[in-house]
Amino acid sequence: MLQKLQVYRVFRGLEAEYKHDPSIWSASCRTRVVCQVHQELPGLWKVTQVYAALVKSSLAPGPEGDSDLSGYQEAARRGSEGEDCGEHYHECPLNTVPLKATLRRLLALLQAA
């Protein structure tokens, strides 16, 4: 029960920090988070490339077919290459989200269970 409460507190803490700011749901913030995830977990880039290729092959051709996916793919590449996500996505007012630290805390809690 203690671990569930701790996991709950981790997510509630993130929610409390960001829930009142509607701008975090903007395209710029979504791509910035993708960039940050890949910056903190650069090994994820290869998985992202394979997944993107599979998804792209199922999208309808046309000008709107893969524009969002391409933007996320570019953000993932930038992050995996260590580029400054805040600089590239400066329209997003988010502070750097401690994604890796949050995941580590969650994994430690789950392993302790």
pLDDT in tens, 52-62: 777 766 655 55
Q: Decide if 11 is inside a domain.
A: no
Would the pLDDT of 64 be above 60? no
Would the pLDDT of 84 be above 80? yes
Q: Decide if 14 is inside a domain.
A: no
Q: Decide if 13 is inside a domain.
A: no
Q: Decide if 16 is inside a domain.
A: no
Q: Decide if 20 is inside a domain.
A: no
- Domain containing 73 equals 2-6+26-112
Q: Decide if 107 is inside a domain.
A: yes
37-43 own/partner pairs: CB under 8 Å, 24+ apart: 37/76, 37/79, 37/99, 38/75, 38/76, 38/77, 38/78, 38/79, 38/80, 39/79, 39/80, 39/82, 39/83, 39/85, 40/79, 40/99, 40/100, 41/99, 41/100, 42/79, 42/80, 42/82
Q: What is the pTM of this model?
A: 0.62
Number of domains present in the structure of the chain = 1
Q: Decide if 36 is inside a domain.
A: yes
